[in-house]
Structure 1
Amino acid sequence: MNETAKKENLSKKKIVLFTFLPLVILLLSLELIARVVEIWLPPLVTDIGLGFTEDSRLFIPDPYDSRYLITHPNKTVAFQNQRFLKNKPSGTLRIFFLGGSSVNYVHYELPSLSERLKENLKPKYKNVEIINCGGLSYGTHRLVLIAREIVNYEPDLVMIYSGHNEFEEIEQLHLARIQSTKLQKILYSSAMMRFIRDRIATYQISQLEKEHNQRMLAQSLPDAGKGWNHVFTPQEIAERMEKYKNNLNEIIQLCKEKNIKVVIATVPSNYIKPNLIGKSAEEYEQVLQLIREEKYKEAYELGRKIIRETSPRHQSSDLENNIVRELAETNHIPLADVLSAVEQAEPHHIPGENLFNDHCHLNPEGNKIMIHTFEEKILQALSE
């Protein structure tokens, strides 16, 4: 009887083994094929958690020279690739520039700013480093985490230019699925899973590009083609603005605790071609009509009101800029009033006439105005 039972157990094990063995062999074969494919088709750079997790790091030690810090490879999808000495050299002024894509895109202006600052500040400083911490679609929720990191890298001054992404960042938070980051890291250690992930991502990107091209062909002034998953109530807008204020204030206090100078800036956005949807886009036609009638002051006032009350939006408004002004005043830090500088430079003093590439990003001429406005206040901050 015992012998019979043993044979039955052995038979069951064989059945299980021969049932699952082909599946295991198939999966291993697919994994091997995927790893071979990655030799010719490297996986997409991905930042699991999208910078929302507490353990997220923008900079890591250079694996080839531990004296240096480099941009984390996973972060290069959203940040400039940079390298600098962990221990600041003697006679060096080190500046970090915090913000979103507007800061990321102004990277080409930073070397000339460094040279001008060095010239104005010699002989005190032999070198000026400006490290770009502008992340695509980054708002203050994630910039706080970056600030907590970079205050440990011996900065002398931090520049802050953030205000376009406070609602966009909520969408990013949903996409990040931070509750499952550990599981994602395990799954994407598999080349086969990376291949599947990348094919899905490539398809989604192609669809977004197709939609973007269709909107461009439509040539609509307010971009009514872009959609968000959530329309915020007035209370939610107020709560988000309070969070924006608290986040900026936390960054400022982090710097103050370590005697790091701060320059914060107002953030202009495009009032000629804003990115609006639905009812707000329809209402904005009144602004465009006033502009056609050359009633510029009235048009600007109405445009500011509509954008201020619009939800969701992917550009700054008076709400953000009033908070920036308040924080600069209460914390006694220099305010780089980029908004006023852009207003003064536009022919009819409406941001968006000549100085923007799109609804929120300044063009090269606009970026020069932004950088020069910062430059003046940096020199002021360092002289105090």
Structure 2
Amino acid sequence: MQIWLFRAIAIMLPLLLLLAAEWLLRLGFATERVALFIPHPAAPAYLVTEPDITRRYFAANAARPPVKMEPGFILQDKPANSIRLVVQGGSTAAGYPFGVGASLAGMLEQRLKRTLADKHIEVVNTALSAVNSYTLLDLSDDILAVAPDAVLIYAGHNEYLGILGVGSSYLTSQSPTATLLWLKLRQLELYRSLEHGYQALLRPADTPDEKRRTVMATVARHKDIALHSERYQAGLQQFEQNMRLLLQKYQRAGVPVYLATIASNLAAQPPFNSLPPPPDQLAQLQKIAGILQQNAANSAALQQLNTLAAATTESASWHYQLGQLYLQLQQADSAKQHLTLARDLDLLRFRAPSAINDIIRRLAAEYDAVLVDAEQALAAQSEHGIIGKKMMLEHLHPSIEGYFVLADSFYQALYQQRQFGRWPKPVPAEFAWLERPILPAEEFAGQLRIAQLTADYPFQRAPKPVNFPAAQNAQQQLGRRYIDGDLDWLSMLQHSARYYQQQQDGDMLLKSLKIIADALPHDGMANLQAAQILLQAKRYGEARAYLKRSLLSAAPPAQARSLLQQLDAAKP
């Protein structure tokens, strides 16, 4: 009996020592674990998303990608008559390169507020660039803690080259199970302290040149990931396992999930890296293309083209050239087939392969998630039904119109599901487009960001100087000053509001003031100003919501209370 007791003590003693060390560190030296939602220091009624949430995944002294989460606000105490939606995903869900106004959260909140003016609407963004399914799963407990009425997910492009992706520079383990264990261990202060010490000993600091590079230029470690290779399959396995765990968690909590297919530029994005086309077939293709350019109806050349296209090759660039030729010939089905193959065979996986959407569709059916076919919605608005420059800025980030279509696909899904009961007045798409919550200054700033992005890897072999287009008007000048760092985002919006007021442009002034108020829900004066102009437009339901929000600020304006009392008395 004594021998077993000694053995038990021998086994338990190291564990007890570790627990004691963890307790002492938390008691005396620990820093609080990075939470997704933190109290707003200047507005006690609100929680705000943590901009530096990626600190969760890196030691304090380790190099990490320069990405931040757009701040989003929710009330600490969720109102009874409210709708709270949470958006998860990567840079597209977050609205890159335009910011929150183009994001799912921004466009949906604006439209839902107009649709359901009698409810308190919160659509909060938790998406950010360079993250994948590990981050979605890791943030899910924080999201559940704020009691969402639904979770909206647009994700899947970063499984290979995002943080913790199987081909990324920011990789912890090739094993999904080991990576999930690591995420749990990082919650321990003892583990984080050891990690900090290790990084201090072994990891050199970033050079200034590295800090200036784009995120895409810093994440690609394993540049070649061939279709059906071991690493390719590992990316699919990682995505399916994490998404399965995520959907199970939300299903157990009774939280509805709207899960979207993802889209990328097929028609106008050449493969980033490809096996070379077979030389003899390439020569033959060039010859056939020359004949068809002279006579697109040449039946013999068309037959030769179809025979040549049926040949099997793993070259992405070969299929891209075939797709482009079929596009010129107005043969959309053949063009889409080869352009899709070009994307799937692209060795540098900044665009998700078709298999990711296959997994999304399968898991949505398996876990009763609402499938939002965003890819099909974007294709339906594209020439020949093939997503290209009209919907995409480069390889996968939508244009403003593309972002609107993406948000509209979620809006329509929410409406069709009767998620929040009967919608008395759904807002038509053409009306919502006119009221999209983004200003021309922001749109121009987004164009400049894309110019920066495409001047570096993988769009260029080496970084090139960025040549910005000249600003053509006052709004574009504001956008350029914002990108140059002369103005912060809020100052750009405030300058815009003053400009539209001087121009007596009531519609754009209203839009500007609403965007500012929605970005600063804790600011009493900003929300009062938005309410006042909404009252002038006789949009009483929306005005009431902004007045109520104004009264939640730390120093509520007396005028807001007076206007709300007048509204309630008149009951317009």
Calculate the TM-score normalised by the size of structure 2. Answer: 0.49
What's the secondary structure of 2:383's corresponding residue?
Answer: coil
Does 1:291 pair with 2:330?
A: no
What's the secondary structure of 1:358's corresponding residue?
Answer: coil
Alignment match, 1:91: 81
Picking from 64, 68, 71, the partner of 2:46 is 68
Does 1:139 pair with 2:175?
A: no
Question: Matched residues in 1 for 2:352 and 2:346: separation?
Answer: 11
Question: Matched residues in 1 for 2:196 and 2:394: separation?
Answer: 36
Picking from 313, 317, 335, the partner of 1:282 is 317
Deviation at 1:85, TM superposition (A): 2.0
Does 1:241 pair with 2:231?
A: no
Amino acid at match of 1:349: G
In structure 1, list runs of 5 or more residues that go unmatched. 1-54, 190-195, 213-225
Q: What is the number of residues matched between the two proteins?
A: 309
Alignment match, 1:59: 37
Picking from 367, 377, 381, the partner of 2:413 is 377
Alignment match, 1:128: 121
Amino acid at match of 1:380: Q
Alignment match, 1:347: 383
* 1:63-116 per-position Cα deviation (integer Å, ceiling 9, x unaligned): 445543222242383210223223212211000000000011162044452243
Question: Matched residues in 2 for 1:63 and 1:230: separation?
Answer: 46
* 1:289-322 per-position Cα deviation (integer Å, ceiling 9, x unaligned): 3323333221210121232344441112321111
Alignment match, 2:512: none
Alignment match, 1:215: none
Contact 2:48/2:74 (<8 A) preserved: yes
Alignment match, 1:22: none
Distance 1:63 1:172, change over 3 A: farther
Distance 1:62 1:201, change over 3 A: farther
Distance 1:186 1:255, change over 3 A: same
Alignment match, 1:262: 257
Deviation at 1:141, TM superposition (A): 1.5
Alignment match, 1:19: none
Deviation at 1:287, TM superposition (A): 2.2
Distance 1:245 1:282, change over 3 A: same
Deviation at 1:207, TM superposition (A): 5.5
Contact 1:269/1:317 (<8 A) preserved: no
| Aligned residue runs from structure 1 range 17-36, under 5 A | none
Picking from 91, 102, 110, the partner of 1:101 is 91
What's the secondary structure of 1:68's corresponding residue?
Answer: strand
Amino acid at match of 1:59: F
Alignment match, 1:337: 373
Amino acid at match of 2:209: Y
* 1:193-242 per-position Cα deviation (integer Å, ceiling 9, x unaligned): xxx94xx3431144669x89xxxxxxxxxxxxx87445355233223213
| Aligned residue runs from structure 1 range 151-166, under 5 A | 151-166=144-159
Alignment match, 2:209: 203
Amino acid at match of 1:155: P
Does 1:300 pair with 2:300?
A: no
CA root-mean-square deviation: 3.3
Question: Matched residues in 1 for 2:345 and 2:316: separation?
Answer: 12
In structure 2, list runs of 5 or more residues that go unmatched. 1-32, 55-66, 173-181, 276-314, 422-572
| Aligned residue runs from structure 1 range 303-314, under 5 A | 303-314=339-350
Deviation at 1:364, TM superposition (A): 0.4
* 1:238-261 per-position Cα deviation (integer Å, ceiling 9, x unaligned): 232132122222222222222211
Question: Matched residues in 2 for 1:348 and 1:230: separation?
Answer: 31
Alignment match, 2:141: 148
Alignment match, 1:328: 364
Does 1:231 pair with 2:209?
A: no
Picking from 167, 170, 173, the partner of 1:175 is 170
Deviation at 1:156, TM superposition (A): 0.5
* 1:51-73 per-position Cα deviation (integer Å, ceiling 9, x unaligned): xxxx5533223344554322224
Contact 2:167/2:223 (<8 A) preserved: no
Question: Matched residues in 1 for 2:207 and 2:53: separation?
Answer: 17
Deviation at 1:347, TM superposition (A): 1.6
Q: Percent identity?
A: 22
Distance 1:72 1:241, change over 3 A: same
Picking from 72, 76, 82, the partner of 1:82 is 72
* 1:333-373 per-position Cα deviation (integer Å, ceiling 9, x unaligned): 22111111111111211111411011011110011100011
Distance 1:258 1:100, change over 3 A: same
Contact 1:87/1:154 (<8 A) preserved: no
Question: Matched residues in 1 for 2:274 and 2:149: separation?
Answer: 45
Question: Matched residues in 2 for 1:229 and 1:321: separation?
Answer: 22
Contact 2:133/2:159 (<8 A) preserved: yes
Distance 1:66 1:184, change over 3 A: farther
Contact 1:139/1:166 (<8 A) preserved: yes
Alignment match, 1:252: 247
Calculate the TM-score normalised by the size of structure 1. Answer: 0.70
Question: Matched residues in 2 for 1:383 and 1:67: separation?
Answer: 25
Deviation at 1:186, TM superposition (A): 6.2
Question: Matched residues in 2 for 1:306 and 1:230: separation?
Answer: 14
Contact 1:275/1:359 (<8 A) preserved: no
Deviation at 1:181, TM superposition (A): 5.5
Alignment match, 2:506: none
Question: Matched residues in 2 for 1:236 and 1:383: separation?
Answer: 42
What's the secondary structure of 2:152's corresponding residue?
Answer: strand
Amino acid at match of 1:92: S
Amino acid at match of 2:366: T
Distance 1:111 1:238, change over 3 A: closer
Amino acid at match of 2:264: S
Question: Matched residues in 1 for 2:224 and 2:86: separation?
Answer: 33
Contact 2:160/2:167 (<8 A) preserved: no
